[in-house]
C-alpha cells in the first residue's frame, strides 16, 4: 500500500500510466494443464469416497448433468467455486448419498480439485517481466476464475487481486474494472489492462476507458470490434508494449 501512496502523486497530473492489471488464466499461465489435473483429482476423490456417483455417468451424460446444474442455478454463474460445489453435491445426491454425505463430499472433492487448480506454472519470462514492472507500476489481478495469484510465485509483485466471486459479476462487466479504480484511486486512463480474452479483457477494459494489451499467444486473428491498443504474443513483449502506450500519451 506504501507503493500506492507513493504513486498517488501521479494522480495529480492524471497523465502517467501507474497501474497494470492482469487477467490470470491464459494470460500469466496456461490454464489447461492444472485444470486437467484438478478434474482428475476431483474424480479420484469421488471414485474412492463416493462410489457410484461420478462413475454412474459416461462423458456425455456427465456433461449433460453439469449443464443442467448450470441452467438451474443462474445465480451462481459468477461464482465458479460455488457452482462446482453445487454440481458435486447434486452428483452425490443422484448417486443415492444422504444430504449430509453429499454436502461434506462436495466440500472435500472441491478441495481436492482446488489443490491441483492452484498449481499453475507461470509462462516462461512471466516472473522476470512482473518483477521489472512491479518496480515501476502497481500490479493488480482481475480474474473470472478461481485461481489465486497469492498462491503463485508471482504473489509478491501484486498489490491487489479481485475475482468475479469476490465482486459478484464477471468481466466484461465494468464492476471488476471499477474495483481496480477504487482500490488504486487512479483514473481509467492511468491503467493498462492485460488479458487474453478479446471480449472479457479487451472490450471490457476499453469500455471503462482503460488502455488494453491483448495477449494473443495462439496468434489468432482479431475477432471483431475495437482493436486493443497493443497486441503481444508473449509476455516478454509486454514492457515494450506498455512503453509504447505510455509514450503515445
Q: Which residues bind Mg ion (CB under 5 A)?
A: 23, 25-26, 196
3-state secondary structure the chain: CHHHHHHHHHHHHCCCCCEEEECCECCCECCHHHHHHHHHHHHHHHHHHCCCCHHHCCHHHHHHHHHHHHHHCHHHCCCHHHHHHHHHHHHHHHCCCCHHHHHHHHHHHHHHHHHHHCCCCECCCHHHHHHHHHCCCEEEEEECCCCCHHHCCCHHHCCEEEEHHHHCCCCCCHHHHHHHHHHHCCCHHHEEEEECCHHHHHHHHHHCCCEEEEECCCCCCCCCCCCCCEEECCHHHHHHHHHHHHHCC
Task: For residue 74, give the nearest of 200, 170, 202, 205 by alpha carbon.
Answer: 170
Smallest gap from Cβ 171 to Mg ion, in A, equals 9
Smallest gap from Cβ 85 to Mg ion, in A, equals 22
213 phi/psi in degrees, rounded to 5: -125, 125
- 25 vs 229 by CB, closer to Mg ion: 25
- 23 vs 159 by CB, closer to Mg ion: 23
- 144 vs 184 by CB, closer to Mg ion: 144
- 196 vs 229 by CB, closer to Mg ion: 196
Smallest gap from Cβ 61 to Mg ion, in A, equals 29
- 105 vs 172 by CB, closer to Mg ion: 172
The Cα 100–Cα 98 span in angstroms is: 5
Smallest gap from Cβ 218 to Mg ion, in A, equals 12
Smallest gap from Cβ 215 to Mg ion, in A, equals 8
- 86 vs 146 by CB, closer to Mg ion: 146
Smallest gap from Cβ 26 to Mg ion, in A, equals 4
- 27 vs 184 by CB, closer to Mg ion: 27
Sign of the Cα torsion 127, 130, 136, 141 reads: negative
Smallest gap from Cβ 27 to Mg ion, in A, equals 5
Amino acid at each position: 500500500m506504501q507503493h500506492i501512496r507513493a504513486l498517488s502523486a501521479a494522480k495529480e497530473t492524471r497523465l502517467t500510466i501507474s497501474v497494470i492489471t492482469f487477467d490470470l488464466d491464459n494470460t500469466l499461465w496456461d490454464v489447461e494443464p492444472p485444470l486437467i489435473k484438478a478434474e482428475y483429482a476431483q474424480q479420484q476423490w469421488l471414485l474412492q469416497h463416493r462410489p457410484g456417483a461420478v462413475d454412474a455417468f459416461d462423458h456425455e451424460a456427465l456433461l449433460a448433468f453439469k449443464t443442467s446444474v448450470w441452467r438451474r442455478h443462474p445465480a451462481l454463474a459468477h461464482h465458479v467455486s460455488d457452482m462446482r460445489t453445487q454440481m458435486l453435491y447434486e452428483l452425490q445426491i443422484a448417486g443415492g448419498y444422504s444430504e449430509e454425505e453429499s454436502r461434506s463430499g462436495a466440500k472435500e472433492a472441491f478441495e481436492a480439485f482446488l489443490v491441483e487448480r492452484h498449481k499453475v506454472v507461470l509462462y516462461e519470462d512471466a516472473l522476470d517481466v512482473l518483477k521489472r514492472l512491479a518496480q515501476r507500476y502497481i500490479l493488480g489481478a482481475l480474474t473470472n476464475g478461481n485461481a489465486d495469484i497469492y498462491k503463485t510465485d508471482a504473489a509478491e509483485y501484486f498489490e491487489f487481486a479481485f475475482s468475479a466471486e469476490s465482486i459478484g459479476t464477471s468481466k466484461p462487466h465494468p464492476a471488476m474494472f471499477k474495483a481496480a479504480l477504487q482500490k488504486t484511486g487512479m483514473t481509467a486512463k492511468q491503467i493498462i489492462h492485460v488479458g487474453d480474452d478479446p471480449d472479457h479483457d479487451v472490450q471490457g477494459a476499453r469500455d471503462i476507458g482503460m488502455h488494453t494489451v491483448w495477449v494473443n499467444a495462439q496468434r489468432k486473428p482479431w475477432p471483431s470490434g475495437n482493436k486493443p491498443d497493443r497486441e503481444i504474443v508473449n509476455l516478454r513483449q509486454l514492457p515494450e508494449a506498455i512503453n509504447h502506450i505510455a509514450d503515445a500519451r
